[in-house]
Every structure is written in C-alpha cells, then in structure tokens.
C-alpha cells in the first residue's frame, strides 16, 4: 500500500501545478473577459484568394 503515498504525492504535484497554472492564467488576464473569446473563435482567418497560383503556397510562416 505504500505506493499510495507516491500516488498521492504525484496527484498533489499535478494538482498544484494545475492550480499554479490557474492562478497565473487569472493573473495574466486570461479570464478578464469571459465573453469575447467565445465569439472570436467563430471568425475564419483563412484568405480566400489566389487559389490557382500554386507558387504562393510554399511553406513560409
């Protein structure tokens, strides 16, 4: 059964990491606006032009 202490430790570490991530996210303003993101993701940003010209479709980020 000793392994449960390890599992508890890992679980707590994971939980603490997530809690830390949560606090950081809140601090950084991730959740200041809880409406716009849900609408923003609906907009498409693909450019619907020059489809025929293959030369443009090179990998260039």
Partner 1 sequence: MEMQQFHYDNKIVKNFLYATMLWGVVGMLVGLLLAFMFLFPNLTDGISWLSFGRLRPLHTNAVIFAFVGNAIFAGVYYSAQRLLKARMFSDVLSKINFWGWQLIIVSAALTLPLGITTSKEYAELEWPIDIAIALVWVVFGWNLIGTILKRRQRHLYVAIWFYIATFVTVAVLHIFNSLELPVSALKSYSVYAGVQDALVQWWYGHNAVAFFLTTPFLGLMYYFVPKAANRPVYSYRLSIVHFWSLIFIYIWAGPHHLLYTALPEWAQNLGTTFSIMLLMPSWGGMINGLLTLRGAWDKVRTDPVLKFMVVAITGYGMATFEGPTLSLKNVNAIAHFTDWIIAHVHVGALAWNGFLTFGMIYYLVPRLFKTKLYSLGLANLHFWIGTLGIIMYALPMYVAGFTQASMWKQFNPDGTLTYGNFLETVTEIIPMYWMRAIGGTLFITGMLIMIYNVIVTIKQGSKVENELAEAPALERVTKKRTASEGWHTWLERRPIQLTILATVAILIGGIVQIVPTIMVKSNIPTIASVQPYTPLELEGRDIYIREGCVGCHSQMIRPFRSEVERYGEYSKAGEYVYDHPFLWGSKRTGPDLHRVGSKYSDNWHFNHMYDPQSTSSGSIMPRYPWLIKNELDKSQTEAKMKTMVSLGVPYSDEDIAKAQESMAAQGEQIEQNLYSDPDFAKTYEADKKYAAENGEPFVEMKNREITALIAYLQRLGTDIKVEATAQN
- Please report, as ranges, the residues that interact with partner 1 according to CB under 8 A: 1-4, 6-7, 9-11, 13-15, 17-19, 21-22, 25, 30-31, 33-42, 45-47, 49-51, 56-61
Total residue length of the chain: 61
Q: Which pair of structure tokens corresponds to residue 13?
A: 């570490």
Contact 37, 31 (CB under 8 A): no
Question: Smallest distance from the beta carbon of 16 to partner 1, in angstroms?
Answer: 10
Question: Smallest distance from the beta carbon of 27 to partner 1, in angstroms?
Answer: 11
Contact 31, 25 (CB under 8 A): yes
Question: Smallest distance from the beta carbon of 61 to partner 1, in angstroms?
Answer: 5
């Amino acid at each position: 059964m000793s392994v449960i202490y390890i599992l508890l430790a890992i679980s707590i570490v994971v939980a603490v990491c997530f809690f830390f991530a949560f606090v950081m996210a809140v601090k950084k303003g991730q959740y200041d606006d809880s409406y716009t993101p849900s609408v923003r993701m609906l907009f498409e940003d693909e450019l619907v032009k020059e489809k025929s010209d293959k030369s443009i479709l090179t990998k260039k980020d």
